[in-house]
Chain A
């Protein structure tokens, strides 16, 4: 199945290939963002002893679509004194930076849109692009709450970039590579969450901060700043900011999975997973499927484990949101510079020592 697809794929002109990839990625991004809102509302509701959306469709499953329809129908207001061009462009910048990170998300074994050899650097570079969009929105709105929100957001994102980069350096040092797929393959020995537990915590915390979510939601703190940099936005432009937030939740979870939880690798011990795979191929062969189905099966297997781990991570983020209150601004900056940054440097030292031990047992 995959082979036939690949042969067809090679006959397509490059432009068509790009177009297809673009459509798939935007669809995946939109779908993920839309249904994460549903998932979050359900999880939050359950933790608060409520039911959550259950009116539109069975179990409220069509709620995100209804919300999208509502946002599309609403009036797209541009304030009179706003900088109209910047104001209109900002949501696209924010959302596009999310989609750009999606390029190196390893959905399954061999299912990466672009497996860059500088994947880690690319991730850090692209995830900082959000700042530009947010400041465009805050500045162009010509509203003090928007501006406050945007400035807080920039201070926060720039501060939390540093520990995040140091935490990722630990991963790169252990894996000996910046390519996402190689980092994941290196974790066949042991998931990096074990040797890099401190790095995992730092990456998780900075990841939550990068997504502008509780307890780091100062840029859009509704009790202080109305709605932060999204105050003046309405309709689908607000929806784009919203979608970008949930997309970044997915991306953070995906990279926590890829860098610390073994990505698409199965958590089962190797003999057991091998036996399961043999059993499945046997069953499939008895059902009359060809041997050539095996690569597809492996792909689905890896995708299953990846999405399971990502769902667990996303649940963790929602759980954190349901539990913790918001930071104070000075505490926020102090936490980044005085606690997380030294800890991440310590983590880098630990990673170096571990790398020496690692090389003793598994020389490259």
Chain B
């Protein structure tokens, strides 16, 4: 044991050190907490941002999925586009260029074609094979075949024909079990047309080759009827 003064000094020294350390500890704690708070804040902000972006993407995807499913559900209730071919047929255009046929004169019963071979000459794919026999008015094709495999159905033969002897029907059923039918197809003459083809033929064209449009015909009939009515009314009013 030293003097009282020494002991006092020692006490002061020790207490001072403890106080200093305690204060330093408190200060460091304060700094830590402050820093930690900011770090935590930054982390929370970052995390919220990330969560927000994730949720936004999630709901976008969910909304897109929902919308897509609604679209497909809408198609469930729309009418079907299928045409069940042999039983239903799609409408062909009134001037549709299908299978060829040779026009027959109604009074004489003979085909109009005189075998001039203009159609064979203009044909861009050279599929028409004509061989005319006879002189003058009596000249008729001994052979008239069309290669339907190579034909492009351009209709130039119909346009070029000076006698209006070759026409095209709205017949698209060109399939055949025999290849020669297609390679050397003999165009229809109306007297050898079988019944269902005849129906297509009748529907498509008048006997003289003019294309027939049932809608136009019906409209014309309606107009005529209306005109007749109007004239009747006029007559009545005049009277």
Contacts and interface: CB of A to CB of B under 8 A. Distances in A.
Interface in A268-327: 319-320, 322-324
Interface stretch (A48-56, A156-164, A217-225, A246-254): A48-56
B: interface residue count bin: 10 to 19
B89 interface: no
5 contacts: A43-B76, A48-B75, A49-B79, A51-B80, A324-B65
Interface stretch (B66-74, B136-144, B179-187, B222-230): B66-74
Interface of A: 43, 46-51, 319-320, 322-324
Contacts of B68: 323-324
Interface string B137-171: 00000000000000000000000000000000000
A204 to B, nearest CB: 12
Interface string B77-104: 0111110100000000000000000000
Contacts of B79: 49
Interface in B48-69: 65, 68-69
Given A319-B69, A323-B69, A324-B68, A51 B84 contact: yes
A51 B76 contact: no
Contact of B75 (A49, A51, A324): A49
Contacts of B73: 47, 319
B231 to A, nearest CB: 49
B86 to A, nearest CB: 12
A51 B80 CA distance: 7
Nearest to B73: A319
B70 to A, nearest CB: 9
Contacts of B75: 46-49
The interface residues of chain A, by DSSP majority, are classed as helix
Contact of A323 (B72, B78, B80, B81): B72
10 shortest interchain CB distances as A-B pairs: A323-B72, A51-B82, A49-B81, A46-B76, A47-B72, A47-B75, A323-B69, A47-B76, A323-B68, A322-B72
A115 B75 CA distance: 41
Nearest to B83: A51
A50 B75 CA distance: 10
Contacts of A50: 80-82
A49 B80 contact: yes
Contacts of A47: 72-73, 75-76
Nearest to B79: A49
Contacts of A324: 65, 68
B47 to A, nearest CB: 14
Nearest to B81: A49
Contacts of A43: 76
A49 B72 contact: no
A209 to B, nearest CB: 15
B108 to A, nearest CB: 49
Contacts of B80: 46, 49-51
B30 to A, nearest CB: 36
A41 to B, nearest CB: 13
